[in-house]
Structure 1
Amino acid sequence: MDWTDLIDVAFDALGSDSNKSSALHSVQQAARPDELPVAATAGRHPDHFRKGALVLTTHRLVFLKDGKPPLPVPLEGVTDVTVTRSRLNGEILKVVALTGAHRFEEVDKAEFFAEQLRGTARTARDRHRAPAAPAADLLDQLERLAALHTAGALTDAEFALAKTRLLQG
């Protein structure tokens, strides 16, 4: 799959062709040289009325919406990915990362996309993991998690799960 195919998949899921070239340009422009496309689907961010494209690469998850700046989530910081179902909001994809919790509603093929996201995030963490992480780095990550929890970005359960996963390596 190349970048054009990835954006085509996302916009086909949206049922729209609007600003496809703009979305492609914004993702490619911010891409690292070794970053490759993985998967795409459509979903709605709670702050937006209409759906946007969720694009998964080897390094990040990006939410693209017409006229809005891309919302990137670095994969090496992803600690949990869950899918729930609601009568009102359809399938809900929740991504907990060191940058905060992200929720996407009405996600097309959410369970399949979540599996791809989990696997790609695990690979990204392994790629960025140093042979022996210094204790100071672990302490910094724990402090960031605690700050997110204190700020209300993570619930008690999300904080406990993220902390456990971080400590288990």
Structure 2
Amino acid sequence: MDWTDLIDAAFDVAGNSNKDNRDAALRTVEANVAPDERPVASTAGRHPDHFRKGVLVLTTHRLLYLKDGKPPVPVPLEAVTDATVTRTRINGEVLLVVALTGSHRFEDVVKAEVFAEQLRAAARLARQASRKALDAPAPAGSGGELLDQLERLAALHTAGALTDEEFTRAKQRLIG
């Protein structure tokens, strides 16, 4: 599955046949993906602040909410601590994503249970990969790479994904 297939499938589920919206969503995703980021799943849902449905895109790195060409609402998978689904008469299936960066509510989500399970599995894999990266010895490389790795560690620490002890240990491994 590539990015185009993922966006098309989500827009089909949302019942949105507007080609301009699809193209804008695809451009937004492609402009913001990391080199090793891959598509995982997508569905349609509505943010409580919007009347029409948007697209929920799950990647190997994050969850994105896309709507009408607006900047995506990203949720890093490493920060996701829980994803639950409830059902209400008014809002249909409600997906609540709890992350260290805040909680996010999406209403009228299509196949919410399946998507929530995919989200939980992807978040588990992202956290495992992050922990393995922290325990691995630092590769020899340029100073720019070291600075990038230190900035990423600092961001994880600030978001609460790393404890003070984990942050200090990982920083010492990188610096040597």
TM-score (norm 2): 0.75
Q: Tell me by how many angstroms 1:38 deviates.
A: 0.4
Q: Tell me by how many angstroms 1:34 deviates.
A: 0.1
* Alignment partner, residue 111 of structure 1: 113
CA distance in 1, matches of 2:158, 2:72: 30
Provide the aligned C-alpha RMSD in A: 2.2
Structure 1 stretches (4+) deviating beyond 3 angstroms? 136-140
Alignment of 1:141 with 2:175, yes or no, is: no
CA distance in 2, matches of 1:118, 1:102: 14
Give the share of equivalent positions with the same residue, in percent. Answer: 66
* Alignment partner, residue 87 of structure 1: 89
Task: Return the letter of the residue paired with 1:44.
Answer: R
Q: Is the 8 A contact 2:101 2:159 kept in 1?
A: no
Task: Decide which structure has the larger Cα Rg and report it.
Answer: 2
Q: Which runs of 5 or more structure 2 residues have no equivalent in the other structure?
A: 137-153, 164-176
* Alignment partner, residue 22 of structure 2: 20
Q: Tell me by how many angstroms 1:82 deviates.
A: 0.3
* Alignment partner, residue 2 of structure 1: 2
TM-score (norm 1): 0.78
**Where do 1:4-153 residues align within 5 Å?**
4-18=4-18, 19-129=21-131, 130-131=134-135, 141=160
* Alignment partner, residue 165 of structure 1: none
Q: Tell me by how many angstroms 1:75 deviates.
A: 0.3
Secondary structure of the residue aligned to 1:106 is coil
CA distance in 2, matches of 1:100, 1:11: 26
Measured at CA, do residues 31 and 87 of structure 1 come closer, stay the same or move farther in structure 2, by a change above 3 Å? same
Task: Return the letter of the residue paired with 2:47.
Answer: H
